[in-house]
Amino acid sequence: MRIINVCGARPNFMKIAPLMEAYRRHPSIQPLLVHTGQHYDARMSEQFFDELGIPRPDVNLGVGSGSPTWQTAEIMLRFEPIVAEHRPDIVLVVGDVNSTVACALVAVRMGVRVAHVEAGLRSFDRTMPEEINRLLTDAISDLLFVTEPSGLANLKREGVAPEKVHFVGNVMIDTLLRNLERARSRPILADLGLVPRRYAVLTLHRPANVDDPTTLGRLIEALGEIGRELPIIFPVHPRTRRNLEQFGLAGAGAERGLRLVEPLGYLDFLRLMAEARLVLTDSGGIQEETTILKVPCLTLRENTERPVTVDVGCNQLVGTDPARIEAAFRRVMAAPESTSRTPDLWDGHAADRIVDVLRKSV
């Protein structure tokens, strides 16, 4: 059974890692790993392969950055001959980035079945590029692997045949549980001069938050005020770094309480989150990781495609209004330790469940 596995951007790597590991237990599976090259900086890509023990990609399409349309089209053009050469039984894609939808579309056009890991998530906000990627990928997938109950409900409502849908848990959490002990021995807190529970972590990279100077400026100002009370470590995504510089905001955060650092590796970032008093983010995956770590998460968005993280009591949607962010910060600081629950099947065995389904599917 030949499976082409696609990864392209940073959040894909921790999802593909446990699958590549699970395949090794099944000699009948011949996996091929294709990296589209959507992310290419060592800090955004290579270091995750090293830390998570992901095999080197068999193929790197080397696409790089460009407009969303150009990037998606270019990935498709470069992926087509790979599918033609290897004639896989399945193309497996993860998450919701441009690489996900581009490769799914190529596979379907060439009569190859598509498996989508992390299917069914919906923010119901079609201005988000990821929402379009999710809708399109799910519409053409043959096997849809779902992480949380909302995904099942969304796919049912959209009329996806139930036999295609499998509730398997969360591969990103497989990776977290596998690496937590290793992460705890990282010296990142000492390196940054931090004391457990006496700092916050911030990430920002959504176009809606960082591409507009007014929105980004307002966020930096509001978060900087919080940073005066509780140090905030802010590993800066390349998109955000570029915009901070372009909008003349790079110094603004630092003058207040934000400590800007380069993007961190998986283990350092995991340790940093695990020991934080709270996390502020517009990322999708971090809402899930903080849920397992039981670290309060304030999501700087008006919606989430991962509502289970709110339902279990760990995540709060606070949007980008400074007064709301500050009020939520006060609530978290006043509350005792988080008592959130763990979502069903986020138990470290999602990849095994996926591989079982894949094996039965041919």
Q: Which residues are catalytic?
A: 205
Q: How far is the CB of 223 from ligand UD1 (least distance, A)?
A: 19
Q: For residue 59, give the 3-state DSSP assignment.
A: strand
Nearer to ligand UD1, 62 or 248 (CB): 62
Q: How far is the CB of 164 from ligand UD1 (least distance, A)?
A: 24
Cβ-based neighbours of 255, under 8 Å, separated by 6 or more = 224
Nearer to ligand UD1, 130 or 174 (CB): 130
Cite the DSSP H helix spans in the chain. 10-23, 46-52, 68-86, 98-109, 129-140, 149-157, 171-184, 188-192, 207-210, 213-229, 238-246, 250-255, 266-274, 285-293, 308-311, 322-334, 350-360
Instruction: Give contact residues for ligand UD1 (rule: CB under 6 A).
Output: 9-11, 38-41, 44, 65, 96-98, 129-130, 205, 237-239, 242
Q: How far is the CB of 149 from ligand UD1 (least distance, A)?
A: 23
* Burial tier of 163 (Cβ tally within 10 Å: 0-12, 13-18, 19+): exposed
Q: How are strands ordered across the β-sheet holding 315-317?
A: 258-261, 232-235, 200-203, 278-281, 297-299, 315-317
Q: How far is the CB of 129 from ligand UD1 (least distance, A)?
A: 4
Fill in the DSSP letter of residue 57: P
Rg (CA), the chain: 20
Nearer to ligand UD1, 203 or 291 (CB): 203
Q: How far is the CB of 137 from ligand UD1 (least distance, A)?
A: 12
For tokens 């080397």, the residue is: 62
Nearer to ligand UD1, 47 or 98 (CB): 98
Nearer to ligand UD1, 97 or 272 (CB): 97
User: How many CB atoms lie under 10 A from the CB of residue 149?
Assistant: 15
